[in-house]
Amino acid sequence: MDPNEVLKFLRLTYTGFSDGALLALIALGLVLVFKSTDVINFAHGEFMLLGGFVGYQLLTITASWGIDPTLGTILSVAALVAAMVIVGTLVERLILRPLIGEQIISVIMVTIGLSSIIDAIVGLAWGTIPQPLPYSIVPAALSGRWQIEMEGARRPLNLPQEAMLTILVVVILVVLLMVFFKRSKYGIAMRATADDQQAAMSMGISIRVVFGLTWSLTAVLAGIAGLLIGELTNAVGGDIPVVGLRAFPVIILGGLDSVAGAIVGGFTIAMLETYASGYIDPSLKNVVPYIALLIILMIKPYGLFGQKRIERV
């Protein structure tokens, strides 16, 4: 076997894997919202954009205070989480709540409108030029590049170790979320609401609180994803929402209401993209997920893990 081919395969797989983790993280946010509020959030990419720039701003401020990067990172991430909670709550209260019960197209459009508003705000505040982060948020232990020896000769695999960070973050977040949903009162309320709104209401669960919480949570997830993208690409810029768009085939493929689907879908789509662009044609990166999606949907109309809704008459 040609070692170069093996290396290429390893390189693509590694990229696909870390990319998949990122997509899974984004998809997770989308699925979360859909599960409890039946809304598909077309502004998720813009939440990420906003999170990226807010994170950039916080890092810049901490840097200007001359704080140690590790402490600065922790402070900034904490502040970012707080900021995104506020954004999520506001968005739910002002924009989504009035539309509860409206038809699907209205709900889609309101998030699209929201995305334009966020785009405009970010553009006015930070402009269009990508801004490099003042310092890396990756701990020094993780930075650097992977090197692999093969067949006696040193052949550099040359992969960024930072990519591991995404996987780490996704794992941590998924564990946290699972604990939250299993153990905390609000997490249980959210699951109950996702199962059956009417029943949840009759159990005394406040749908409004659950909705507010959901949107805050998804905004936080998006914000962290945005900052991660900034770290991985060395700068935050206006193209972050494009990454968000890539999550749509993921959630449909996995099934709109399935957390497992989001994770499996994220990795599947990312792998497909990298292999297709690596082995066939780079330009295919953008369409392959959609072609795969169409094929899957023709076979399973509610995605791989989605629940079929039985219609009663």
Determine, following the binding rule CB under 8 A, whether residue 3 of this chain makes contact with other proteins. no
Residues 250-265 as b or e (16 or more Cβ within 10 Å = b): bbbbbbbbbbebbbbb
| By CB under 8 A, residue 261 contacts other proteins | no
**Rounded to whole angstroms, how far apart are CA atoms 279 and 220?**
36
Collapse the DSSP code of 156 into the 3-class scheme (helix H, G, I; strand E, B; otherwise coil) and give the result.
strand
The answer to whether the beta carbons of residues 32 and 41 sit under 8 Å apart is no
In whole angstroms, the minimum distance from the beta carbon of 165 to other proteins comes to 29
Near other proteins by CB under 8 A: residue from 23, 114, 227, 304: 114
Give the x-and-dash track for 68-107 against other proteins (CB under 8 A).
Answer: ---------------------------x--xx--x-xxx-
Comparison of 46 and 162: residue with beta carbon closer to other proteins: 46
Single out the residue of 115, 218, 258, 277 in contact with other proteins (rule: CB under 8 A): 115
Binding residue (CB under 8 A) for other proteins from 4, 71, 86, 127: 127
The DSSP code sequence of 111-123 is HHHHHHHHHHHHH
Q: Which residues partner with 155 through β-bridges?
A: 148
Rounded CA-CA distance 198/144 in Å is 52
Is residue 256 part of the contact set for other proteins (CB under 8 A)?
yes
- Residues 6 or more apart whose CB falls under 8 angstroms from that of 149 comprise 155
Q: For other proteins, which stretch binds (CB under 8 A), given 50-58, 81-89, 115-123, 133-141?
A: 115-123
Structure token pair of residue 115: 């995305």
Smallest separation, CB 208 to other proteins (Å): 17
Residue 245 touches other proteins, criterion: CB under 8 A: yes
Nearer to other proteins, 126 or 169 (CB): 126
List the one residue out of 96, 99, 306 whose CA is nearest residue 219.
96
In whole angstroms, give the CA distance from residue 198 to residue 59.
44
Cβ-based nearer residue to other proteins, 112 or 157: 112
DSSP result, 193-253: HHH-HHHHHHTT--HHHHHHHHHHHHHHHHHHHHHHHHHHTSEE-TTHHHHHHTHHHHHHH
CB of 132 to other proteins, least distance (A): 21
| Interface with other proteins, residue 211, by CB under 8 A | no
- Under rule CB under 8 A, residue 113 binds other proteins: yes
- Give the separation between CA 245 and CA 69, rounded to whole angstroms: 31
Should residue 168 be labelled a site residue for other proteins when binding is judged by CB under 8 A?
no
Q: How far apart are CA 150 and CA 147, in angstroms?
A: 10
Closer to other proteins at the Cβ: 102 or 239?
102
Among 48, 221, 222, 252, binds other proteins (CB under 8 A): 252
Find the binding residues for other proteins in span 24-63 (CB under 8 A).
34, 40
Binding site for other proteins (CB under 8 A): 34, 40, 95, 98-99, 102, 104-106, 108-110, 112-121, 123-124, 127, 245, 248-249, 252, 256, 283-284, 286-287, 290-291, 293-294, 297-298, 301-303, 310-313
